[in-house]
């Protein structure tokens, strides 16, 4: 249910209404718009009494949410959500509501020197958030699994050096607390999209969560996974379309461009695309990135490596730094023509030494 409050409902009344809702065993989730304050009321089916909610002083309307994903739906929050990511030295990056971000970096943090070198290169090209893997989910147990906490330190230090927030994948509930010390954004990979215990755990943190779509997941299933995070009070959720399995075998996966406008029509959450994992081939990454941004995506996530032929994982899909820089220039022109803009740490005032 959506509880729409009267225009003159002050903060004290809002908190009183929330307390009354929670007193009858329901969850209350507040959403403040420009003109209206809305409370999403969530509980077991059949336990929500519309007439009782209408009887609470200060309530104007009570409307049903038709989607199974209540908090992620446009019905609950009409305007685009804007997720804010704090930079390590100064400033805040925003994604959503017309502000776009570029996430870039190596698939895996292979050594400290390469992480710092790539961070400097992608920052100069216009990347906003540094990505890199510390714990690597691989198909084979004998493949490189990442450097763990050492890699987290390299990533954090490279981010601090360049005033770039960092994002890394969390695969296990046991890793959440340690990764939280180093990262600015949690990434939930495609294989863990429906790892509900993990979704609950990152939902209890207050750091942004980037949720990748599972390779065989429907859009509704993807949004229901976002609901797990939102239900724990963490509203900082970014969705990532990274390709799904279809009958087509020309590329690794099929980047579902249609998912971008469909998700944005049904949900207020920002959505980005990952053309690197979708294609698996670097020559197709720029075109897929352009398609995603033209469809309305709020950003891209790509892999960049200074020597892909020696990469410890996913070398064939990684862009060289100069290829990334070329792609960024094209995307900036495209996005500007659509009335949006990329947020970049390069545009921030330098930090006093």
Q: Where are the domains of the chain?
A: 2-63, 83-347
Structure tokens at 60: 């104007």
Q: Number of C-alpha atoms within 13 angstroms, CB side, residue 350?
A: 2
Q: Which listed CATH number (3.20.20.70, 3.40.50.720, 3.90.76.10, 3.30.565.10) goes with 83-347?
A: 3.20.20.70
* Residues 238-254 pLDDT 10s: 999 999 999 999 999 99
Q: Give CA–CA dist 146/165, Å, rounded.
A: 20
Structure tokens at 144: 């490189």
Q: Give CA–CA dist 2/16, Å, rounded.
A: 16
The dihedrals phi and psi of 311, each to the nearest 5 degrees, come to: -65, 145
The dihedrals phi and psi of 62, each to the nearest 5 degrees, come to: -130, 120
Q: For the chain, list residues with pLDDT below 70.
A: 45-46, 138-139, 142, 144, 349-353
Q: Give CA–CA dist 22/155, Å, rounded.
A: 41
Reported pTM: 0.91
N residues, the chain:
353
Using alpha carbons, select from 168, 59, 68 the residue that is nearest to residue 108: 168
Q: Give CA–CA dist 258/179, Å, rounded.
A: 33
Domains 2-63 and 83-347 are alike in CATH topology: no
Q: Give CA–CA dist 27/42, Å, rounded.
A: 5
pLDDT at 291: 98
pLDDT at 353: 38
3-state secondary structure the chain: CEEEECCCCCHHHHHHHHHHHHHCCCEEEEEECCCCEEEEEECCCCCCCHHHHHCCCCEEEEECCCCCCCCCECCCCCCCCCEEEECCCCCEEEEECCEEEEEEECCECCCHHHHHHHHHHHHHHCCCEEECECCCCCCCCCCCCCCCHHHHHHHHHHHHHHCCCEEEECCCHHHHHHHHCCCCEEEECHHHCCCHHHHHHHHCCCCCEEEECCCCCCHHHHHHHHHHHHHCCCCCEEEEECCECCCCCCCCCECCCCHHHHHHHHECCCEEECHHHHHCCHHHHHHHHHHHHHCCCCEEEEEECCCHHHCCCCHHHCECHHHHHHHHHHHHHHHHHCCCEECCHHHCCCCCC
Q: Give CA–CA dist 281/318, Å, rounded.
A: 8
Structure tokens at 152: 């987290």
* Residues 254-306 pLDDT 10s: 999 999 999 999 999 999 999 999 999 999 999 999 999 999 999 999 999 99
Dihedral over Cα of 296, 301, 306, 312: its sign? negative
pLDDT at 257: 97
Q: Give CA–CA dist 292/16, Å, rounded.
A: 43
What is the fold, at CATH topology level, of the domain defined by 2-63? Alpha-Beta Plaits (3.30.70)
pLDDT at 74: 94
């Amino acid at each position: 249910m959506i509880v729409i409050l009267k225009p003159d409902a002050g903060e004290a009344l809002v908190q009183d209404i929330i307390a009354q809702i929670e007193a009858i065993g329901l969850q209350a989730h507040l959403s403040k718009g420009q003109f209206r304050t809305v409370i999403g009321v969530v509980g077991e089916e059949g336990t929500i009494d519309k007439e009782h909610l209408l009887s609470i002083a200060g309530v104007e309307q009570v409307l049903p949410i038709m989607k199974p994903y209540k908090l992620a739906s446009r019905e609950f929050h009409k305007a685009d959500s804007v997720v804010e990511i704090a930079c390590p030295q100064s400033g805040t990056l925003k994604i959503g509501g017309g502000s776009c971000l570029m996430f870039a970096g190596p698939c895996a943090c292979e050594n400290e020197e390469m992480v710092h070198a790539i961070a400097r290169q992608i920052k100069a090209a216009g990347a906003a958030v540094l990505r890199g893997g510390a714990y690597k989910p691989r198909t084979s147990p004998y493949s490189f699994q990442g450097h763990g906490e050492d890699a987290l330190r390299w990533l954090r230090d490279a981010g601090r050096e360049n005033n770039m927030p960092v994002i890394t994948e969390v695969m296990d509930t046991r890793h959440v607390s340690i990764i939280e010390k180093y990262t600015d954004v949690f990434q939930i990979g495609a294989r863990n999209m429906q790892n509900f215990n993990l979704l609950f755990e990152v939902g209890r943190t207050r750091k942004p969560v980037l949720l990748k779509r599972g390779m065989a997941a429907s859009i509704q299933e993807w949004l229901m996974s976002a609901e797990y995070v939102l239900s724990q009070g963490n509203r900082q959720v970014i969705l990532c379309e990274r390709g799904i399995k279809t009958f087509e075998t020309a590329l690794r996966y099929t980047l579902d461009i249609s998912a971008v406008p469909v998700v944005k029509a049904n949900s207020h959450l920002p959505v980005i695309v990952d053309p690197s994992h979708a294609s698996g081939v670097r020559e197709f990454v720029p075109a897929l990135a352009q398609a995603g941004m033209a469809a309305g995506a709020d950003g891209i996530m790509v892999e960049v490596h200074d020597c892909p032929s020696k990469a410890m994982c996913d070398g064939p899909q990684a862009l060289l730094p100069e290829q990334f820089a070329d792609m960024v220039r094209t995307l900036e022109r495209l996005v500007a023509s659509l009335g949006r803009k990329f947020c970049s740490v390069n545009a921030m005032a330098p930090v006093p030494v």
